[in-house]
Amino acid sequence: MLIVVCNSQCTCTWPTVQRVFQNLMETVVKTVYRSLGLLSVLLMTSIMYSFIGALFFANIRSGEALDYSVVNFDGILVSLHLVIRTMTGEDWYQIFWDTMVCGVAISYENLTVYCICLCLGF
């Protein structure tokens, strides 16, 4: 809902309101268009982290945050969901802890580097 406040000297006609709304929509479209590059880099980085997570952590046991149904590294799409969940800050510390105590055949230093880069990279 667009509210235009007019005082006694202002003449608010429909063409004036229409021009203001048109300028506002042009600004929104230009902003979204110019940020597509940044969004594509963010998406490619997220996909890269999901590939690495699926490669390293495909055989992780279930834990407090990781389970066998939705939150795991079994596939690329599920791993991408987990990466996006970590990006938003939802239970990232529990996911970090579950990957640290998982007992995967990868060193804890590599696990730590992956999780810290994932948490700080976004």
Q: What is the pLDDT along the chain (122 residues), one digit of tens a residue?
A: 555 555 555 666 777 888 888 999 999 999 999 999 998 988 888 898 888 878 777 777 666 666 666 677 778 888 888 888 888 888 777 777 777 666 555 556 666 666 676 666 65
- pLDDT attached to residue 27: 93
With tokens 């990466």, the residue in question is: 83
> Does residue 21 belong to any structural domain of this protein?
no
> Does residue 109 belong to any structural domain of this protein?
yes
> Does residue 28 belong to any structural domain of this protein?
no
> Does residue 65 belong to any structural domain of this protein?
yes
Angle, helices 108-121 vs 76-87, to 10°: value is 60
> Does residue 107 belong to any structural domain of this protein?
yes
Provide the number of structural domains found in the chain: 1
> Does residue 24 belong to any structural domain of this protein?
no
DSSP assignment letter at 31: H
> Does residue 5 belong to any structural domain of this protein?
no
> Does residue 3 belong to any structural domain of this protein?
no
Whether pTM exceeds 0.85: no
